[in-house]
Amino acid sequence: MSWQDKLREVEPYVAGEQPKIVNMIKLNTNENPYGPSPKIKEVLTSLDIDRLRLYPNSDAVDLRKELANYYGLEEEQVFLGNGSDEVLALIFLTFFNGKEPILFPDITYSFYPVYCELYQMAYKLVKLDRDFKINLNDFMQPNSGIIFPNPNAPTGLLVDLDFIETILKNNPDSIVVIDEAYIDFGGTSCVSLIDKYDNLVVTQTYSKSRSLAGIRLGIALGSKEAIRHLYDVKNSFNSYPVDYVAQQICLASILDDQDTKAKCAKVIKTREMTKTRLKELGFIVPDSYANFVFVKHPDVEGQELFTALRQVGIIVRHWNTKRIDQYLRISIGTDEEMERMINFLEEYLNK
Ligand SMILES: *Cc1c(COP(=O)(O)O)cnc(C)c1O
């Protein structure tokens, strides 16, 4: 047998491109158009370089304490990892090992099926309705775990806490993971349900609302028991996923929550303006609660619009996948960036 016969062969997740185009308007990976807290600059200039000789605190205790405080939880209920993608990978490995399939929507974060393939776990896609809404009954079948983002990606649609609570109540023997990557853009977090349901695990990221995609920090919140198991798996894989510098930066960010809230409010305002303007141009615009909109035009193909925008340096996201190939996911940038994008579309559609 050749080494090729002994491979774990996978089709990887493909992240949005980071092209090097001058003056481009980058609206394809849901990064925050505004920089992180200015307090981070102070942290970086006063960093103790000699400290880099040492391994970081493996459980990031100072940061963990501050996060626990922020979310009103105990330290043992907080887990940290190298971006929430890594946290999610560890969550699948820790909790989703039953015989039944893992359930998630057919239109959702495209990393979930990749983890399943990587770990060779069975999954079943729950079909969203024509308006991209989740049918609650679809999560009432035997499963080894449930996961979906709230708001969902790439649709931006939000479900309320009652909806999540019904799923939790009906699946007491499975871990239910709510991926709150975009919750700070107008949704209500379900963290408040953690003390009532030991099968709930919530993930959040510092990449979007906190403008820190460049340093990679993601967290998971849950019952002490669930989080302990997550640490056991993490410590069997990599003891030090969050480096010293990232810990210091995130600490400064969490302590400057006002800055985050102000920037989120700006993004929300721009998003609402964008929705209105795109509707005026005839676009179909599901009601996004995230820092992106997911839109299609009844008269122009998604691929065509994607290419036309790219030619003028406006980079958005498009998937050649059934059910969503007519849609574009457009991240919310600054007011000025959105104006330029909308003006271009207006001209293009009138031609
Ligand atoms: C962006 C995103 C993530 C990953 O965030 P990182 O912390 O940057 O790894 C996870 N889930 C969803 C739904 C996302 O959109």
Atom of ligand 1 nearest to the CA of 206: 7
CA–CA gap between residue 201 and residue 183 (Å, rounded): 14
Q: What is the DSSP letter of 101?
A: P
List pLDDT tens digits, range 210-262: 999 999 999 999 999 999 999 999 999 999 999 999 999 999 999 999 999 99
CB–CB of 315/26 below 8 Å? Answer: yes
Please state the rounded mean pLDDT for residues 119-136: 97
CA of 270 relative to ligand 1 center, distance in Å:
21
As annotated, the residues of the chain forming the CATH 3.90.1150.10 domain(s) are: 17-35+257-350
In short, whether 31's Cβ falls inside 6 Å of ligand 1 is no
pLDDT in tens, 50-102: 999 999 988 889 999 999 999 999 999 999 999 999 999 999 999 999 999 99
Q: From the CA of 149, give the closest atom in ligand 1.
A: 13
CA distances (Å), origin 261, targets 186, 327, 329: 10, 29, 23
CATH architecture under which domain 17-35+257-350 falls? Alpha-Beta Complex (3.90)
A 10 A CB-CB count for 233 gives 15
Sign of the dihedral through C-alpha 261, 206, 31, 252: positive
Q: In the chain, where does the domain assigned CATH 3.40.640.10 lie?
A: 38-256
The number of the ligand 1 atom at minimal distance from the alpha carbon of 30 is: 1
- Identify the pLDDT of residue 21: 86
The residue whose CA is least distant from atom 1 of ligand 1 is 181
Do residues 193 and 161 make contact, with C-beta atoms less than 8 angstroms apart? Answer: yes
How big is the CA angle at 37 (ends 35 and 39), to the nearest 5 degrees?
Answer: 135
CB distance 213 to ligand 1 below 6 Å? yes
Tell whether ligand 1 has an atom less than 6 A from the beta carbon of residue 83: yes
- Ligand 1 touching residue 179 (CB < 6 A): yes
Class for domain 38-256, per CATH? Answer: alpha beta
Provide the 3-class DSSP secondary structure of residue 203.
Answer: strand
Distance from Cα 102 to the centre of ligand 1, integer Å: 19
Q: Give the closest residue (by CA) to ligand 1 atom 5.
A: 84
Give buried/exposed letters for 93-116 (b at 16+ CB in 10 A, else e).
Answer: bbbbebeebbbbbbbbbebbbbbb
Q: How far is CA 71 from the centre of its chain?
A: 18
pLDDT for 33: 97
Q: Is residue 289 scored above 80 in pLDDT? A: yes
Q: At 78, which helix (H) or strand (E)?
A: strand 78-81
Q: Are 327 and 296 in contact (CB under 8 A)?
A: yes
Pocket probe mutation, ligand 1, options 14, 85, 211, max atoms within 8 Å of Cβ: 85
Distance (Å) from CA 350 to ligand 1 centroid: 36
Q: What is the mean pLDDT of the chain?
A: 96
- Interacting residues of 139 by C-beta distance below 8 A, sequence separation 6+: 103, 126, 146, 167, 170, 171
